[in-house]
Structure 1
Amino acid sequence: MRVAAFLCEALTRGTTHAEPLAVEGNRLDFVDTLRQLQPDLVINLCESLAADSRGEILIPGLLDLLGLPYTGSSALSLGLALHKPKAKELLRARGISTPAFAVVQRPEDVKAVDLPYPLIVKPAHEDASMGVDFDSVVHTPAELARAAIAVLSTFHQPALVEQFIQGREIYVPLLGNAPRRALPLTEIHFGQAFENRPNIVSYKAKWETESPECRDSTSALCRLEDTALEERLIQTAVGAFSALDCQDYGRVDLRVSAEGVPYVIDINPNCDLHPGAGFAKAAAAAGIDYPALANRLVEIALERTHGNPSHRTKGPGTARRVDPPNRNVLAGRGPVRHRAGGPRAHAE
């Protein structure tokens, strides 16, 4: 809701008007409202429906049925990103490095996992580091069984078991479609709270701002003297984003092995647009302030929908409709799982 408020303020200028539209519980009242208003564009901020993250894909699907353009990725891309095993299968099919993995559907499946330790265990269909803590990184079959059963019983979904890549954690924010550009890269720096513990961005590290894990896992612009490594990181991120057919903006999270190989550990289409979050900070480092970023996202979505290049002025002969007075750019926001504290600079 805070993100919607910030975007409304940034976008309501001149003849453009933005207003929030809530997606509440499992009700679909917002569909009738959208049908009546017929906005020029919907800013899609919805991350779940009825507190279920799998409902995220329903919103762009409904917008497609209504014939309304919207920002961000399609239902297909969001669904693939949330189905981590399928996303990893696509990455491997494209030759994009991602940690070796297995899926545990039932407790007895643990015995079939044949991967080198250490491993990390996480829910297969969650984001925002849900279900990830220090105990998620395991070193023995007994620890693996305990972590996998914890996911199965708590989240009622399969457990994704991945080879744990011990190395630098670097994020690549991406903006635009054709061409697609990488914003300045950011890196997580793990402090004292992570001594003799796995260097991972857990749920606490992302959302519980008073926790030692959060205080000691700061993000900052990534300084890479190795230009070849930077290019590999960007190429890997762009390839991963394209593999899932993501659109407009997002972030790809990577781990760099001791051999300098970038491994995709997560793909975040429609990442957090809070002005204090990592994407906006990366844009600011590239000289794009928050109002400019908000308007750029609108232009990118309209360009993709209507075929107008962003530098082309509106007028006779253009594909885009002439803007009516006080055009509405609606931002929808659905209920999400409780996240303690405020936005996380290096999080979603």
Structure 2
Amino acid sequence: MSLVIGLVHDIRENPYFGAECKGPHDVVSDLLKPNEVNRIVCTLKELGHEVEIIDGPKDLLKRIDSIREEVDLIFNKSRGIRDLERKIFVPAICKLYGLPFVGSSGYNMTLALHKYHTNRFLKGLGFRVPEAHIFHPGENIFIGDLHYPVIVKPNNESSSLGITENSIFYADKGIKEAILKLQEDFDEPVVVEEYISGEEWKVAVVGNRPYSEAVGVVGAMRSGSTIDNSVQTREDIFYDRIEYYKPRDLGLMKKTLNSAKQIHDALECNDYSRCDFRLGRNKELVFMEVATHPDVSECSSFVTATLQRFGDYTNLIDFLLRTSCQRQGLSY
């Protein structure tokens, strides 16, 4: 069935991102690149659908009456620009006006973006997570019972924003200054986590509970080596330095797939998500973070992992549309 799909994303050339944006100079680098938008549009058209481009939540709200009449389904790829609530607007507008949309709810996206709350929530459900403290601007900084080494990062960011090779600390020296600098740069709380050395695995999950499915696992590597005693930095993302490989330990892969599905369902993710883990001591599986709004560009870890199940990009996008329509009672 042919649909009219409204692709919502934040256009980089929008003046809002230049004049009014606060934060590091590269903050807009998390937005979709033109070639990524074109690939999604071409795929949707290849599947027989019409596409309407919508420039973020403000444009969606401005044109809401015509969009409600003309658009069948919103494909939400709006990432917002600042603050913890930046991803809530498109899902909230869609809910308010009864527009079906692909992806998770605003609540779900905001919870997952808050690293510390997600960490505490999943620990309460019995998942292994790094011990962590959160420091809000103006509070006393005391590492307390955390064991070194630790990693320092902004609480509300994604795509490794704020993370560099200097984000890992092996003693108290310099850590307070690093926390204060991130608080100043990002104007948000900072999380300090016990650093987990070991391979970093990323798992793609699709569908909706109880029928969701973890469909693939990839490990992250840089310059031909796994990221064991290092971190994935913002520069790695920006300059496309990260490559992915399929792990060989089938038993551990099965365990990882099962854990990712459980997390996807526990957080009530809609349609698709990505769960990241580190392999700790004795290959113990440690949850790191979840992306309820993962990148769907062809070279992303999410898409690379899904190819183990779907074979090509077009089949993946078709499945996301189909599972979203089924969840919302739409014909497809």
Same fold (TM over 0.5): yes
Residue equivalent to 1:346: none
Number of the residue aligned with 1:343: none
Alpha carbons 1:249, 1:269 under 8 Å: kept:
yes
- After superposition, give the CA deviation of every residue in 1:261-280 in whole Å (9 maximum; x if it has no partner): 11111101121111222222
Worse-matched range after superposition: 197-206 or 254-263: 197-206
Residue of structure 2 in register with 1:317 after alignment: none
Whole-angstrom CA distance in 2 between matches of 1:14 and 1:265 = 35
Q: Is the 8 Å Cα contact of residues 131 and 203 (structure 1) preserved in structure 2?
A: yes
Q: Match for residue 293 of structure 1? A: 316
Q: 1:271 to 1:192 in 2, by over 3 A?
A: closer
- Superposition map of 1:223-234 within 5 A: 223-225=248-250, 227=251, 229-234=252-257
Distance 1:198 1:15 in 2: 46
Equivalent residues, number: 298
The one-letter code of the counterpart of 1:274 is: S
- Structure 2 unaligned regions, length at least 5: 1-33
**Bigger mean CA deviation after superposition, 250-259 or 275-284:** 275-284
Say if 1:188 and 1:219, in contact at 8 Å, map to a contact too: yes
Alignment deviations for residues 270-301 of structure 1 (CA, whole Å, 9 cap, x no partner): 21111222222222232431111111110000
SS at match of 1:293: helix
Structure 2 counterpart of 1:127: 158
Q: Match of 1:11, as an amino acid?
A: L
Change (3 A) 1:30 1:272: farther
Q: Distance in 1 between matches of 2:249 and 2:198?
A: 14
User: Gapped runs of 5+ residues in structure 1?
Assistant: 307-319, 324-348
Give distance in 1, aligned partners of 2:213 and 2:184.
41
TM-score by length of 2: 0.82
Of stretches 126-135 and 270-279 in structure 1, the one that deviates more from structure 2 is 270-279
Native 8 Å contact 2:109 2:292 kept in 1 = yes
User: Using the alignment, how far apart are the partners of 2:235 and 2:246 within structure 1?
Assistant: 22
- Letter in structure 1 aligned against 2:67: L
**TM-score between the two structures when normalised by the length of structure 1:** 0.79
Q: Could you tell me which residue of structure 1 aligns to residue 216 of structure 2?
A: 184
Alpha-carbon distance, 1:16 to partner: 2.7
Shift of 1:20: 1.8
Offset at residue 187 of structure 1 (A) = 0.4
Q: Distance in 2 between matches of 1:230 and 1:149?
A: 39
Give the root-mean-square deviation of aligned CA atoms.
Answer: 2.5
The amino acid that maps onto 1:100 is: E
Asked whether 1:82 is paired with 2:113, we answer yes
Equivalent-residue separation in structure 2 for 1:260 and 1:193 (angstroms): 18
Deviations 1:177-214 (A, max 9, x none): 2422222210012448999x9411110111124xxxx2
Q: Corresponding residue for 1:263?
A: 286
**Aligned-pair identity (%):** 23
